[in-house]
Amino acid sequence: MTFNEFLERIDTQYNAQLPFVIYRKPNESAVNGLLQETNDLVYTEDFTEKGFVFSPFDNTEKSVLMPLELSDKLKSLVPETKAIDSIKSSSKVDNTLQKEIHIKLVERGVEAIKNNQFKKVVLSRTESVSLSENNPITIFNNLLQNYASAFVYCWYHPKVGLWLGATPETLVKIEGQRFSIMALAGTQNYKGSLDVTWQAKELQEQQYVTDFILDSIETTIDNINVSKIETVKAGNLLHLKTRIWGVLKPNAISLKDLLYSLHPTPAVCGLPKEAAKQFILEEEHYNREFYTGF
């Protein structure tokens, strides 16, 4: 199947208001698709089903499953082209009020840290823009060209919504009994070189994530190895990354319990996890839904 045929098939599925997901794994040339045959909303029970899982930030909420047995599988190679300009907003909505509210939220977060409620909290806000290009398939293609080292996806369900993203982070990778994960945190702008200086704040932030992961897996993973910290590029940003790997102990933990022991990580939530998560749910005043999910 040519890439254009692939995109046309997805466009037809979207116009028919039927669920689909299309994605490309980091540094790969193939794009994959699952096109669900019905508009049924299916949830995973324990992450042992076959299909594509879309899981929210709040792990007490249900995770949507696009079942393999109810979907058509598509695959195509992405043609090599130069990166193109990012989709521009034709007119930015005035978010001044939201910005002021967010500054006050951050101030409350800082105060909570000073009061020892938690060590770290990752706070977010929404921002509305009016796009000059609102076709999700076109935006997905744009992301493919600009984020070669990221997991790029476009996910749609008529009963849930439309989500697009490009993430450099792998939550968990398991092959047989081999287990690997990454600690990814710390951010600065990319200015043409990976040879940069990191400040103490970013190094501490990344160490928080690494330590959290090690604490979470110490009873379920044998032969744990930790790499040196490296600087990696994701789009126009740089991050600090540490690779962690080992051997999964047989029958030590279910996949669901392993995922929920890690998610949400300090990179998107905070530390300690439950205290930071509760602060986010109570104080952000919007529902993150699948933002910072997996």
Q: What is the DSSP string of 96-159?
A: HHHHHHHHHHHHHHHHHHHTTS-SEE-------EEES---HHHHHHHHHHH-TTSEEEEEEETT
Q: Taking a C-beta distance cutoff of 8 angstroms, is the pair 67, 49 a contact?
A: yes
Question: What pLDDT was estimated at residue 224?
Answer: 97
Q: CA 86 to CA 90: how far, in whole Å?
A: 12
Q: CA 258 to CA 78: how far, in whole Å?
A: 34
Question: What pLDDT was estimated at residue 185?
Answer: 87
Q: Provide the β-strand partners of residue 187.
A: 239
Closest CA to 124 of 274, 236, 292, 275: 292
Question: What pLDDT was estimated at residue 92?
Answer: 62
Residue spans of the domains in the chain: they are: 3-84+133-167, 173-253
Question: What pLDDT was estimated at residue 98?
Answer: 84
Give me Rg for the CA atoms of the chain. Answer: 20
Question: What pLDDT was estimated at residue 84?
Answer: 55
Q: Residue 64 is encoded by which pair of tokens?
A: 């949507």
Question: What pLDDT was estimated at residue 88?
Answer: 56
* Ranges of the chain with pLDDT below 70: 82-93
Q: Taking a C-beta distance cutoff of 8 angstroms, is the pair 56, 289 a contact?
A: yes
Rounded alpha-carbon distances, angstroms, from residue 188 to 175, 184, 197, 202: 32, 13, 10, 9
Question: What pLDDT was estimated at residue 268?
Answer: 93
Question: What pLDDT was estimated at residue 141?
Answer: 92
